[in-house]
Amino acid sequence: MKDIRIAVRVTAKEKDKIKSKARKCGLSTTEYVKQRALGYEPRSIPPDALFLCLEKLGDLADKATSPELDVEISTVLKEITAAFLLPEKE
């Protein structure tokens, strides 16, 4: 349950910069500031081409002919997700 608020004063220029960075990450200003304050580096929204590639890899994983291949594809999917989609802890 979220019921505590932290107010921070910023200049108009700082607010615009924070809002712009949050928008690039697909986050609300509040979520962006919260992630940054907690030591995370939110990532910008990746291009649609990345999601198409992930979908194709997922389809390959569904058609995997061996457990080893399935594990390798799953590993690559996790690496891509971590590298491009998940916020990084500083």
pLDDT (tens digit, 9 = 90+) per residue, 20-51?
999 999 999 999 999 999 999 898 888 888 88
The reply to whether the predicted model has a pTM over 0.85 is no
pLDDT (tens digit, 9 = 90+) per residue, 58-74?
888 788 788 888 888 88
DSSP element (H, E) containing 89: strand 88-89
Q: Which of 33, 89, 80, 31 is nearest to 52 (CA)?
A: 80
Alpha carbon of residue 28 to chain centroid: 13
**CA–CA dist 39, 83 (Å, integer):** 17
**CA–CA dist 24, 46 (Å, integer):** 9
Q: Which two tokens stand for residue 2?
A: 């979220």
Ranges of each domain in the chain: 12-41, 48-89
Query: Do 43 and 84 form a contact (C-beta atoms < 8 A)?
Result: yes
